[in-house]
A and B are shown apart, each in its own frame.
Chain A
Amino acid sequence: EVQLVESGGGLVKPGGSLRLSCAASGFTFSSYSMNWVRQAPGKGLEWVSSISSSSNYIYYADSVKGRFTISRDNAKNSLYLQMNSLRAEDTALYYCAREVVPDAAFDYWGQGTLVTVSS
């Protein structure tokens, strides 16, 4: 059974940093591109970042470019999101999602981890 479990969320002050993790199981992690998607309270889904299976291709939404860094460790079946210079508008539930390439579709999602940026 495919499972994606996010962790690392919490309360952080504006300007602070946080590292999210996503532990994958039930599939060959190293064969899939992975993504982070977020949902701010009361708002819609927003794509954040993607990373290819071998980390060769990495992309970011303009809203996080230069502040967030996506990475993965295929040996540990884990996906990460390093978030720096956090802003109030980064407050959201962050999901990791497996991508079906080249269809750009997310067939499995985690339950999310909540990030709150507030003083």
Chain B
Amino acid sequence: QSAPTQPASVSGSPGQSITISCTGTSSDVGGYNYVSWYQHHPGKAPKLIIYDVSKRPSGVSNRFSASKSGNTASLTISGLQAEDEADYYCTSYTSSSTLVFGGGTKLTVL
């Protein structure tokens, strides 16, 4: 099972919006609406910020939004803040009943 492809890095200035893509196949991202996104600050446990493609868990800022089209899922962070600087990972359920993480994207807030 190959990992969905994410850009290695993205950057943006405070207040701006950025989008991180997650491109898989019809056997994972494109085949199921079980795509999640995680925020991971080094040294801390990953945090669930999006599940079921576009749903936000309770307590997650509405600056985080997500969608999916075909085999590509996307995470958008609006109104960038310094605290958003972290690694972001998508994950998807697969046709093998397993889970697969994307390669991860490092977000830098300039």
A contact set with B: CB distance below 8 Å: 35, 37, 44-47, 50, 57, 59-62, 95, 97, 100, 102-107, 109-112
B104 touches A103 (CB 8 A): no
C-alpha gap A109/B48 in the complex (Å):
9
Beta-carbon nearest neighbor of B50 in chain A: A105
C-alpha gap A109/B46 in the complex (Å):
7
Closest 7 CB pairs of A and B: A44-B104, A105-B51, A109-B45, A104-B93, A104-B34, A105-B36, A47-B99
B51 touches A112 (CB 8 A): no
A47 touches B97 (CB 8 A): no
Q: Which of B17-40 contact A (CB under 8 A)?
A: 32, 34, 36, 38, 40
C-alpha gap A110/B98 in the complex (Å):
20
What are 13 pairs between A and B in contact, CB < 8 Å? A37-B46, A44-B87, A45-B38, A45-B89, A46-B101, A47-B98, A57-B97, A59-B96, A95-B45, A105-B52, A106-B36, A106-B46, A111-B45
B contact set with A: CB distance below 8 Å: 1, 3, 32, 34, 36, 38, 40, 44-48, 51-52, 57, 87, 89, 91-93, 96-104
> In the complex, what residues of B have CB within 8 A of residue A111's CB?
44-45
Given known pairs A104-B93, A110-B45, the reply for A45 and B40 (CB within 8 Å) is yes
Chain B proximity of A56: nearest CB distance (Å): 12
Chain A proximity of B71: nearest CB distance (Å): 17
A107 touches B48 (CB 8 A): yes
Given known pairs A47-B91, A109-B46, A111-B45, the reply for A104 and B99 (CB within 8 Å) is yes
* Among B3, B51, B87, B103, contact of A103 (Cβ-Cβ < 8 Å): B51
C-alpha gap A62/B47 in the complex (Å):
25
A107 touches B100 (CB 8 A): no
A62 touches B1 (CB 8 A): yes
C-alpha gap A47/B45 in the complex (Å):
14
Beta-carbon nearest neighbor of B3 in chain A: A44
A106 touches B38 (CB 8 A): yes
B34 touches A103 (CB 8 A): yes
